Amino acid sequence: MAAKRRFQTVKGMRDLLPGEAGAFAQVEATARRVFTLYGYREVRTPVVEDTDLFVRGVGEGSEIVGKQMYTFDDKKGRSLTLRPEGTAPVARAYLQHDMASLPQPVKVFYMGPYFRYERPQAGRFRQFSQIGAEVIGDPGPYSDVELLVMLLRFLEALGFEDLEVGLNSVGDPECRQRYSRRLREFLEPHRDELGADSRRRLGTNPLRILDTKAPGERRLLEDAPHLREVLGDPAREHFEVVCEQLERFGVAYRIDDRLVRGLDYYTRTVFEITSGALGAQDAILGGGRYDGLIGELGGPAVPGIGFAIGEDRLVDVLPDSSRVRAEGTAPVCVIAVGSAPRAVALDLAEDLRAADLAAISEFAAGSLKAGLRKAGRRGCRWVALIGEDEIAAGTVVLRDFENSTQETIQRDEFVAAVKARISA
């Protein structure tokens, strides 16, 4: 008889086990708290969208659309895609639900699973979690600044230090066209020094070559013209205000002339945030302004700016000071000792939970020694022991693993006593 198949996760996907899931929950709770302080409200979009949303929104020549999307036909032959990023779905929702009729700008944030078919590696998965936020409806530079300040507050709340904003302007469409011509003219004589992807981009979208990780191409680009050299007055003045206001808030930033971000919809301000503790090349997050995206999707010319955080990567690099991998406070373990009815453990645990104290009922310990061992493995500092003698006397024994002590407490005073000891 053939052995039954043991199923594994699909390549590039992973399970988040209880300790890991707790860290994600901690990060998401912090995001909700900080973003809400700035007037953002949560939005949730479907994980499946019309494929053309990303072809038109992200750009047909982008790496995501060209190589990384999970695309399939449904039973009616419609081409659908598992969402690879969050901004285009939010822009679609803005149009579909007439959010232009709301007070502008509209500020939203989101979090959830996203999908890209790429080579799995440390901190990068084919199903990954992302946290993002968008400001739609304000063309001015002050929304850029407020968004960046909010992001820094969020990262600081997670314990990150020595943060720096990498900043650039990719200008308006006219600026990008002028720069594309200049960059193409610069690179064309060096075509043979470029890899296959960069040679292809030279004819479709030269700006994407600035994203290259190839050492030889990066050295070649050191002498390339800078995009900011061809900015028109509106884009240049916008960027100057962003820089001035960041300085006023004491935000450390550096102008990175090679920073263009990987998506085609960006205009004017683009940014990444790094932490000195992680190394200068390790960006925690990135984003930028996309004033033409909603128009590209069939709507009016509504400006926007946003960012995206790869949550898997963020959790991996959380500072030790804020790394929380347990689900909240270590609970009290309630053990019915000897022949005492197991229902008494259930009743006592429910009393603790009613007082907002986490409790685990241990019904199958087997012996007191086995029960204490299991409580220790679960990470419980406090153990409530109740046997026949305690039931008769109306008491409960509370054992403190950390201090190796125990005491007998009256049953009707037990919950208050535990609460006082935990909060001490």
Q: What is the CATH number of the domain that holds 360?
A: 3.40.50.800
Tell me the per-residue pLDDT of 214-263, one tens digit each, with 9 for 90 and over. 888 888 888 888 888 888 899 999 999 999 999 999 999 999 887 876 56
Q: Look at residues 322, 357, 378 and tell me which one is the last residue of a structural domain.
A: 322
pLDDT at 48 over 60: yes
Arithmetic mean of pLDDT, 33-37 = 96
Cα–Cα distance, 245 to 142 (Å, whole number): 8
- Confirm whether 213 is domain-assigned: no
pLDDT at 136 over 90: yes
Phi and psi dihedrals of 5, rounded to 5? -70, 135
Are 45 and 124 contained in the same domain? yes
Q: Look at residues 322, 346, 379 and tell me which one is the last residue of a structural domain.
A: 322
The share of the chain scoring above pLDDT 90, in percent, equals 42
What is the DSSP code string of 354-372?
HTT--EEEES---SHHHHH
Are 135 and 164 contained in the same domain? yes
Are 313 and 336 contained in the same domain? no
Are 317 and 373 contained in the same domain? no
Are 108 and 79 contained in the same domain? yes
Q: Please give the tally of structural domains in the chain.
A: 2
Cα–Cα distance, 398 to 334 (Å, whole number): 9
Arithmetic mean of pLDDT, 94-103 = 94
Mean pLDDT over each residue of the chain, to the nearest integer: 86
Arithmetic mean of pLDDT, 296-300 = 88
Tell me the C-alpha to C-alpha distance, in Å, between residue 336 and each of 169, 361, 397, 406: 66, 8, 11, 16
- pTM metric for this prediction: 0.82
- Confirm whether 293 is domain-assigned: yes
Element (H, E) at 408: strand 405-410
Q: How many residues are there in the chain?
A: 424
Q: What is the CATH number of the domain that holds 263?
A: 3.30.930.10
Range of the domain at 379: 332-423
Give the angle subtended at the CA of 128 by the CAs of 50 and 254, to the nearest 5°.
Answer: 100
Q: Look at residues 322, 341, 368 and tell me which one is the last residue of a structural domain.
A: 322
DSSP state of 67: I
Are 280 and 389 contained in the same domain? no
Are 317 and 353 contained in the same domain? no
Burial of 324 (C-beta count, 10 Å sphere; 0-12/13-18/19+):
middle
pLDDT at 327 over 50: no
Cα–Cα distance, 13 to 18 (Å, whole number): 16
Q: Where are the beta strands (DSSP E) in 45-188?
A: 48-50, 70-73, 79-82, 106-115, 127-136, 163-169
- For residue 277, the tally of other CB atoms under 10 A from its CB is 12
Are 357 and 407 contained in the same domain? yes
Are 410 and 283 contained in the same domain? no
Cα–Cα distance, 45 to 90 (Å, whole number): 7
Residue ranges in 191-253 assigned as alpha helix (H): 196-204, 215-221, 233-248
Asked whether the beta carbons of 31 and 311 are under 8 A apart, the reply is no
Higher pLDDT, 35 or 260: 35
Are 314 and 412 contained in the same domain? no
pLDDT at 204 over 90: no
pLDDT score, position 62: 65
Cα–Cα distance, 243 to 257 (Å, whole number): 14
Arithmetic mean of pLDDT, 146-152 = 95
Q: Quick check: helix, strand or coil at residue 416?
A: helix
Query: 3-state DSSP: the chain helix, strand, coil percent, rounded to 5?
Result: 45, 20, 35
Are 313 and 347 contained in the same domain? no
DSSP state of 189: G
Most confident range (mean pLDDT) of 16-25, 36-45, 398-407 is 36-45
Cα–Cα distance, 247 to 145 (Å, whole number): 10
pLDDT score, position 307: 94
- Confirm whether 407 is domain-assigned: yes
Are 151 and 31 contained in the same domain? yes
Higher pLDDT, 375 or 320: 375
